[in-house]
Structure 1
Amino acid sequence: MSCAYAGDERSYELTSIIPEQHHFASSHGDICYFEWGKPGDGPSVLLLHATGFHARCWDQVVAAFPDGTHVIAVDQLGHGRSAAPIITDWDDVAGATAELVQSLGIRFAVGAGHSMGGHCLVQVAASHPELVERLVLVDPVIMERAVYQNPPDYSATNEMVARRRNSWTGPEEMFERFKDRHPYKLWDPAVLRDYCAHGLLPDGQGGYRLACPPQTEASVYATSATVDPWPLIDAITQPVTVLRAPQLEQNGAFDFATSPTPPGLADGFANGTDVYLPDLTHFMPMQDPKRIAELIISG
């Protein structure tokens, strides 16, 4: 697949490989998802994004997939163009995604989940093994077992996230504000443009607001230990590839670029493979989408 931006930067629209936008009424709220291609002989690819992001952050990864790949990228509950309630349990996020995939009749997909998306993919694959034949966990937020027994205090992070700027004139202002800042300056500029172009919604007053409301994003962080994934990991028999970034010294009090993934996570799966990527950060799909695409396809 290949794509290019239109000349008018105000629109940030792709001139080719524009996905179809769909909606599904889950029991947890409306879920928006995007579809590239149609089901064929090969497995479909299911893409789940990280906290605070949206389905279209995968655009450049999808562009690097082989032509004809059928792809479903989900705006997970609370994000993008999906319903945005305050999240009280990560079970709800994964449950809405599982309902969507079941409704589409997709079986034995290749699933890839980044950060929170990796955690949710584990939930989906464990509870509905017929939906996912192979998992690629992209620096997932799956912490050591002990953390789920004694969860840390996330209040400082929650307060910081809840104060995110939520008023913008448009994607161009957002892009210009972020492009030279850590960690966004590490990203492929095309991914940052996708994030800005599809990460804002009209606010009804001539401006724009974040598609993931700050209070909703904060609630996702606040409930990140509500589902202990380790009993699920113990039950998963599908092949699992863990893409893991280094655990870096933080660049500021709230630096999300360091990896949250334990180095031994892959060993917890019956059929796990660890792929350490020391030159990338937690935002690896944004930094090197082509490389991540290759790893998703190859496993």
Structure 2
Amino acid sequence: MKPETFTLEMNDGASIIARHYSKPGALRLFITHGNGFAVDGYRIFWEPLLADFDVVLYDMRNHGLNPSAGGDGHHYRQFSQDITTIYEGVTQRIGKAESIGIFHSMSSRSAMKNAVELGSPFDKLVLFDPPSVPPRGHALYEAMQSFEIKLINWATSRRDRFASPDELEAEYSAARASSKWLPQARADMAKAVLQPDPEGGFRLSCQRELEAVIYLQALSLDLWPSAEQLKVPALLVGADPDGDGAPPTGPANRALAQEGGYTYHGMKGTGHLLQIEQPERCRDVLYDFIAGR
């Protein structure tokens, strides 16, 4: 199945490429990704959904297929505005339908900010492991602070040029952080996050300094909303909250769910990239939420 592809203009002039896999009359899913990644890297999660849903895929600005928009708009305030602009642009293009926004990590936080401050355009939200940083003084604040600082340091020093996607795939295969990713996802993600470099070879689509600044912004976002504040039904799906070596996002999202009254599923045995570690289980949770189970 080939999608319809079109370009949407954001309110600051940035361009976002959207792809629509049409299934007339079906529930519509808008699907995007986390910081430094790209939606095609999540293919093993979303591709089976095409059989049952009308699906819109897009990369966040400065990621994936999108042209570079520079650093001026690379922040959570703009990301949250982009969500509404993208929804409205897609709806104008292909018509209105009942829609669920499916987000991961950075885009989950953007969707939460969008819902609280602008009013979500979606009928429901599914939030996969947002890097939920609790308020200062919370028992889990320091763990999340340390997590984000480690990611800042990693991002600013990461390799950003490659002779081919195979080199990045090999790095994913060797790294502990991506050891739980399914092998196909490592190959998909390596292709998805790279663009041809005019000087030869390939470069990261999302500049590493821009990736780092989002990790830094997570610490000052002041976003720990209750489910009621989102004003739309939302499912919070977190990484394993108890597993050895699991990221602190797992316990943080369990705490957010308990304190904020969310419909919540903590997925045992998973890390932060749970959609490409356990895609079938993630889809099962999505189907259950849609069915009200």
Q: Which amino acid aligns with 2:255?
A: G
- 209, 215, 218: which one pairs with 1:224? 218
- 277, 281, 284: which one pairs with 1:291? 281
- 141, 147, 152: which one pairs with 1:158? 152
- TM-score between the two structures when normalised by the length of structure 1: 0.81
Name the SS for the 2:123 alignment partner: strand
- TM-score between the two structures when normalised by the length of structure 2: 0.82
In 2, distance between residues paired with 1:262 and 1:171?
A: 33
In 2, distance between residues paired with 1:85 and 1:249?
A: 38
User: Does residue 177 in structure 1 map to residue 166 in structure 2?
Assistant: no
In 2, distance between residues paired with 1:23 and 1:180?
A: 36
Q: CA deviation at 1:39?
A: 5.7
In 1, distance between residues paired with 2:269 and 2:205?
A: 30
- 134, 158, 169: which one pairs with 1:144? 134
Name the SS for the 1:206 alignment partner: coil
Q: 1:158 to 1:181 in 2, by over 3 A?
A: closer
Residue aligning to 1:103: 89
User: Residues 71-98 of structure 1: CA distance to partner in whole angstroms, max 9, x if unpaired?
Assistant: 1222112322333432663111111122
Q: Which amino acid aligns with 1:117?
A: S
Q: Which amino acid aligns with 2:28?
A: S
Name the SS for the 2:174 alignment partner: coil
User: Does residue 94 in structure 1 map to residue 80 in structure 2?
Assistant: yes
- 282, 289, 292: which one pairs with 2:272? 282
Q: Which amino acid aligns with 2:110?
A: C
- 111, 125, 129: which one pairs with 1:135? 125
User: Does residue 45 in structure 1 map to residue 29 in structure 2?
Assistant: yes
Residue aligning to 2:231: 237
**Contact preservation (8 Å) 1:33, 1:74:** yes
**Contact preservation (8 Å) 1:126, 1:235:** yes
Percent identity (aligned) = 19
Aligned length: 279
User: Residues 182-203 of structure 1: CA distance to partner in whole angstroms, max 9, x if unpaired?
Assistant: 1222111111111011211111
Structure 2 gaps of 5+ residues are none
Q: 1:274 to 1:176 in 2, by over 3 A?
A: same
Q: CA deviation at 1:217?
A: 0.4
**Contact preservation (8 Å) 2:173, 2:179:** yes
Name the SS for the 2:84 alignment partner: helix
Q: Which amino acid aligns with 2:6?
A: H
In 2, distance between residues paired with 1:92 and 1:142?
A: 18
User: Does residue 57 in structure 1 map to residue 51 in structure 2?
Assistant: no
**Contact preservation (8 Å) 1:19, 1:35:** yes
User: Does residue 114 in structure 1 map to residue 104 in structure 2?
Assistant: yes
Name the SS for the 1:285 alignment partner: helix
Q: CA deviation at 1:45?
A: 0.5
Q: 1:67 to 1:152 in 2, by over 3 A?
A: closer
Residue aligning to 1:264: 255
In 1, distance between residues paired with 2:259 and 2:63?
A: 29
Q: 1:237 to 1:212 in 2, by over 3 A?
A: same
Q: Which amino acid aligns with 1:91?
A: R
Q: Which amino acid aligns with 1:79?
A: H
- 182, 195, 203: which one pairs with 1:201? 195
Q: Which amino acid aligns with 1:263?
A: R
In 1, distance between residues paired with 2:2 and 2:202?
A: 22
User: Does residue 85 in structure 1 map to residue 79 in structure 2?
Assistant: no
User: Residues 132-177 of structure 1: CA distance to partner in whole angstroms, max 9, x if unpaired?
Assistant: 1111111111222337999958666423311110110111222123
In 2, distance between residues paired with 1:21 and 1:84?
A: 19
CA RMSD of aligned residues (A): 3.0
Greater mean alpha carbon deviation, residues 204-213 or residues 242-251: 242-251
